[in-house]
Structure 1
Amino acid sequence: MFLNHVLRPTALAVAIAVGLSGCAHVDQYMGQSSGTSACVAGGAVGAVLGVAVVALTKGDANAYKKGALIGAGAGCGVALLYRERVQKLQAVAKEEGLVMQVSELNANVAQPAATPNVQSVGVEAQLQSSEMFAVGSAELTTEGRRKLTRLAAALADKQPAPQQTPQTLKKILVVGHTDATGAAEFNQKLSEQRARAVGQILADAGIARQDIYYQGAGASRPLASNDTEQGRTENRRVEFVEIDNEKLLVERVRSERSNAKYLAHGTAPAAKAKPAVAKSTPAKPVVTASQQPAVQVPQPVAQAPASTTASPAKSAIVPLGGEGGVDFGGNAVTDTRSILAMGITPKSSPFSLIGTANATAPLSSCVADLPRIEGQVKNLADDKPLNEFATNEFFPGLTGKPWATAVNGHSVTVGPIAVLRDDAKVAQAPKMQFITDYATPQKHQSQPYLSVANTYEGENKILYRVFAVDQSKSPVTCMDIVFDKRAGSAIAGEIYYPKQGDAYVAQFTPKRR
């Protein structure tokens, strides 16, 4: 899908034909292709993209033919360029002892009487960055600067001809990632500063600043568990994406947002489960904002199916700090997986940069998590955000109304719940409110509890994840609600709350008021 409001029908059909597929590792396509086959493949992509670009400028029939020819020639060069680029990056990484994974970005080009043909439209690399920066700093180490300068030279080599328009010039995106240690806000800012510093290295190597973008994703996109030193090392990384043009860059950026594949690993500090037979311990104090993010969540958990629940002697209960005080009739949490989240089919994406393994990996529940914060994609030339042509349309039913239901004799309300169609973005911060024993004279209505929400979009469903900002006072730590994004109705939900220092989970399905 190309983001544009003036596509003609013919161009639209062409653009749809250029469906973007997941990445193929280098040795699966480009590494095995001859220069001739890569050139032919690139020419096919270039011809299609050339026609689409001309259509965007409302060209005539001759312009379409010219665009196809120009695009075919450019595509041939691009395919060869990407093959050489991948080989150079791999060679530099090997010589410098860098831990880096390089993948190509591909496009499916529909051809007459043939199955879609996978073609190269870019390159992506994940580079572990622990040795590049001092701990907690965006200042490059001397050795880190030297190694990144070599990588930048490989990326800067053989850039496109200057006569190409800014929209069709290749773009490079640098994304900074951290582990989940420390405050989310700090991690996001630090990762952005580091990404910008790496972008400056690329500019010093000769790449035009206007063609370089940077983003700080903080700890919001973990590739490994933050519970181990090895996992934290893998999560501390710099990501490079070189791609054919700005429109494909926008598609790549949007495909990474609200992507449920990153739920395979939580971002909360690890907490050791304790045997179910042990006595409950007092609730642990909430760490202050200066030490951790505003929301402190111990350990991922979700109730396991009754048929697979271990015996009390072998099961373990996850501790959970907080005031609590309201019994929602749930069960003790003994499983780190979220069965609710695993019921969401991952949204089809133009890109699949991490691989297909995460699509079937166990997903963490909200008590394994903290609110995830990622920054805007900005241009190195002026630090202005990338133009993504966002709209203000909401998903059906998720237009800013509160949702409520009764749980074990208590009224539970959360809202306003407002989710935009663009990247399932949360438009308004919700609040949680409770009326205990609402059907009795002893009922008590609580004050609204300030909350933070994240969303993850699947093919037909949306996971709406709510965190209490001050869990030292809220009776509920967090909630997970799954919505049908077509019908605008809630399908299922889970409330996680502390009970005598332990984590408990109750099922609920709220309705829109």
Structure 2
Amino acid sequence: MNIKSLGFTKTIAVTTSCILLFGGCAAILEQNAGKIGGTAVGAGVGGVIGKQVGGDTGLAIGALIGGGIGYLIGNEIDKRRENLAKIAKEENIEVVSQNIVENNNQIVSKESNQKIDNKNVIGDSFTVFSNEEQFAINSSSLNKKAEDIFAKISSEYKGSDKKILIIGHTDDSGSSLYNQKLSEDRAKNVGDIFVLNGVKKSNIYYLGAGENNPIANNNLTEGANKNRRVEIVELKDENDIIKYASKTSNPEFFKKVEPKVVTTTKTKTEISKEKTTTSKFTKTIETENIGKIADNDSQGAIEKEKDKIKIVNSSKDIFDFNGRKVIDNNFALKTNFGESIQDSSFSIITKAQANSMTNVYQNCLADKPRAKADVKSLETNKVIYKTIDYKKGLNSVPFVTNLESTLIAINPVAVLENSSSATNFPKASFYKDYKGEKDVKPTLELMTSINTYQGTQGLIYRVFFEESNTQMKCMDIVFDEKNVNNSKGVLYYTKNNQILEKEFEIARIK
């Protein structure tokens, strides 16, 4: 695949260097595996390791990840990996070591057996998989053994003059906002251990990625276990820290959410309460504050903005888009999306196993709004900022479509170039029987939450409607990577207590 042909610029890619299954290949790294030399040899060694660990299945996994072992990124990191491998073996823990490579645009996980250009390697990542022996369920506190393990790990970084980012990851069970906060607290606690063991506090950053970057299928118990982890990243400066932390999600491994149709009649009091309830997931950025990411600490500071958006009227079965009944949760716009930029090469669970449990890409009915946060400095506990450009054609502008004489407007749509993340949650306005009138009031106006997923052909811009007493369930839009005015979408809505879908074309208002 020619990445440049897709119009991408400035990428940080991650390639698996070696997986240590409970110390399974620690002995290899103790003999300085980084100097084996060449990805072909590395792949062969990986196959041998995998066979020893897990039979034929282990052989396949080992060959996939082993290719990265042969790549030497420098004596300093090479020596550290040897020492970390010894710690993994001694403490019987599961870890993964990776190279961080700068390429073109989005942050991707490249196949580990691909040849890597030496000049593109800009850093190192080391992941420790969590378990109940490290963090208790629903707790950010490490037990004494876990503290000792991370103390040993942090001692390997105390001589570094580079920036270190600690990232907490969870599975996607339960509340997304809760997962984000829990992972942030865990990352911060690990960062504090690094400071106690001689790493400069001013060089440490932390991020609660929550459920947003799964590396295994959350629909499987073993996959969910792999997604609970702490990642330690070393990069040369703060700008690289921000770029790495902004990686787009891979929708492949998220747990399927069963869509529900509410058929009960609500009282006026219940409806009134729902209309005044603000979402925990909403954040808004002033449009004049172009290119600047706002502090969304717990996303609570944005609630005032939500109060400005009012529901014009309930839409219980007043719209008819002549849609067809939804028969499954398959993602209808897969061709427009292509493949996820965050591919599944860094995965303990094989793709075959994932496909046996769930469809690879689901529509918005089987998804949920996912809370995201920004990187914080451990020294100040404040979000660090960087001005970032918008994606072409998605620079805080309105998009409209006309469905069966109903005009639908999404405004404003703003997506960042580097991370492909939405900088605001727009209004969705519905104008029934629209005939081109000026200054007409919308029949229905809804608050939204947005998920984004970057693909090779387009960007999924997933719109969730937050008013429950409405026909509107959610909307999938895929913005074409080359021309946003060639974009398509699917609206999911209810009528007569059935979920229906209607495809449409959408374009920006110039």
TM-score, structure 1 normalization: 0.66
Note the aligned Cα RMSD (angstroms).
4.5
Maintained 8 Å contact 2:431/2:442: yes
Match of 1:82 among 75, 80, 83: 80
Match of 2:127 among 125, 128, 134: 125
> Within the alignment, does 1:215 sit opposite 2:203 as a pair?
no
Q: What amino acid sits opposite 1:264 in the alignment?
A: E
> Within the alignment, does 1:380 sit opposite 2:378 as a pair?
yes
Maintained 8 Å contact 1:403/1:417: yes
> Cα deviations across residues 227-270 of structure 1 (Å, max 9, x unaligned)?
565554444x232223242354344223x2x23x2x11346644
Closer/same/farther in 2, CA of residues 408 and 76 from structure 1, 3 Å limit: closer
Residue 494 of structure 1 corresponds to: 490
Separation in structure 2 between the aligned mates of residue 18 and residue 420 of structure 1, nearest angstrom: 14
Q: What amino acid sits opposite 2:454 in the alignment?
A: E
Closer/same/farther in 2, CA of residues 21 and 211 from structure 1, 3 Å limit: same
> Within the alignment, does 1:240 sit opposite 2:231 as a pair?
yes
Residue 325 of structure 2 corresponds to: 332
Q: What amino acid sits opposite 1:240 in the alignment?
A: E
Maintained 8 Å contact 1:479/1:494: yes
Closer/same/farther in 2, CA of residues 346 and 381 from structure 1, 3 Å limit: farther
Separation in structure 1 between the aligned mates of residue 149 and residue 253 of structure 2, nearest angstrom: 32
Return the offset for 1:107. Answer: 4.5
Residue 447 of structure 1 corresponds to: 444
Return the offset for 1:366. Answer: 1.2
> Within the alignment, does 1:433 sit opposite 2:429 as a pair?
yes
Match of 1:103 among 97, 104, 127: 97
Separation in structure 2 between the aligned mates of residue 75 and residue 271 of structure 1, nearest angstrom: 47
Maintained 8 Å contact 2:396/2:412: yes
Q: What amino acid sits opposite 2:368 in the alignment?
A: L
State the 4+ residue runs in structure 1 displaced beyond 6 angstroms. Answer: 16-19, 27-30, 284-289, 349-352, 355-361
Residue 10 of structure 1 corresponds to: none
Maintained 8 Å contact 2:12/2:244: no
Return the offset for 1:355. Answer: 7.8
Separation in structure 1 between the aligned mates of residue 344 and residue 221 of structure 2, nearest angstrom: 29
Residue 397 of structure 1 corresponds to: 393
Separation in structure 1 between the aligned mates of residue 442 and residue 73 of structure 2, nearest angstrom: 65
Q: Which moved more, 1:423-432 or 1:346-355?
A: 346-355
Return the offset for 1:84. Answer: 0.9
> Cα deviations across residues 33-80 of structure 1 (Å, max 9, x unaligned)?
964973999xxxxxxxxxxxxxxxxxxxxxxxxxxxxxxxx9643143
> Cα deviations across residues 7-36 of structure 1 (Å, max 9, x unaligned)?
xxxxxxxxx999855223347999479649
Separation in structure 1 between the aligned mates of residue 116 and residue 378 of structure 2, nearest angstrom: 40
Q: Any gaps of 5 or more consecutive residues in structure 2?
A: 1-8, 39-71, 104-114, 283-314
TM-score, structure 2 normalization: 0.66
Maintained 8 Å contact 1:417/1:430: yes
Return the offset for 1:328. Answer: 1.9
Match of 1:421 among 406, 417, 420: 417
Match of 1:173 among 155, 165, 174: 165
Maintained 8 Å contact 1:31/1:83: no
Return the offset for 1:493. Answer: 0.5
Maintained 8 Å contact 1:483/1:492: yes
Closer/same/farther in 2, CA of residues 229 and 87 from structure 1, 3 Å limit: closer
Residue 265 of structure 1 corresponds to: 253
Return the offset for 1:335. Answer: 2.2
Closer/same/farther in 2, CA of residues 152 and 469 from structure 1, 3 Å limit: same
Return the offset for 1:481. Answer: 0.8
**Aligned residue pair count:** 407
Return the offset for 1:480. Answer: 1.0
Residue 194 of structure 1 corresponds to: 186
Q: Any gaps of 5 or more consecutive residues in structure 1?
A: 1-15, 42-73, 162-168, 273-279, 297-321
Q: Which moved more, 1:344-353 or 1:485-494?
A: 344-353
Structure having the higher Rg:
1
Separation in structure 1 between the aligned mates of residue 400 and residue 134 of structure 2, nearest angstrom: 49
Instruction: Give the share of equivalent positions with the same residue, in percent.
Output: 24
Residue 154 of structure 1 corresponds to: 153
Maintained 8 Å contact 2:453/2:459: yes
Q: What amino acid sits opposite 1:38 in the alignment?
A: K
